[in-house]
Amino acid sequence: MELFAPLSEHATEPAVKRVENVLTLLVSANTLAREQREKVRFYERSGKDWRREDGKSFRESLDTSTRTQRLLNDVLRRYPTLPLAQGLVGKFEIVERPVTSSTGRWAPWERWAVGTLLNLAKKPGGLSLLRRCSECSHWFYANRPHQQFCGESCRRRHKAQDAAFKEQRAAYMREQYRPLLKELKERPLTVLKKTRQSKGTE
């Protein structure tokens, strides 16, 4: 099963919308927490108290974080978990599977997708690689921490909109095709002269 393809290909399905909402809230909560940790570390390293130095904006960040977590908890109430025993050869574990009241074609995917997202949330840094593509806005799992695009085509499309790239491309095209244009302009005269010479009219 694929997690991200249905989010873009079947975005109007109610189950897909619910999973995208869970994904968006999880990533938002994770991002806010990471930013808060970085800010606290910065002030600790500089020997300042963040409560005094940046109190208002930090309190606003905490309030936003609290609201996001409250929304996430409301959404996750739809997915209670069921502990299940699971084992393979030489392996035994208890896993928690989300259970949903959804029925229909998308119910198994919805349970699986929410379970996958919750498992990612339990791993340190697991949610930090879930991103929206900067070009097409589709969700993807980044292979590298600095990755901004879901694929090569989106990266190229985004770069092609850059003014520096456009100027570089125009210069390349002028350099490559001006000699050809000059040759094409001269060619009809050369062909005409050769034709006249072969007929003996010149």
Could you report the average pLDDT of every consecutive run of 10 residues in the chain (202 residues)?
Answer: 84 92 93 88 80 71 90 91 82 81 86 89 88 91 90 89 82 79 69 62 54
Q: Where are the domains of the chain?
A: 5-122, 162-199
Are the C-beta atoms of 149 and 158 separated by less than 8 Å? Answer: yes
pLDDT for residue 81: 84
Q: Which residue has the tokens 């790239």?
A: 165
Q: 198: helix, coil or strand?
A: helix
d(CA 8, CA 170): 34
pLDDT for residue 1: 47
DSSP, res 81? E
pLDDT for residue 50: 67
Sign of CA dihedral 59, 62, 66, 71: positive
Predicted TM-score (pTM) of the model is 0.71
Report CA 174 to chain centroid distance, whole Å. Answer: 36
If you count DSSP H runs as helices and E runs as strands, how many of each does the chain have, helices first?
7, 4
Q: Which amino acid appears at position 52 of this protein?
A: R
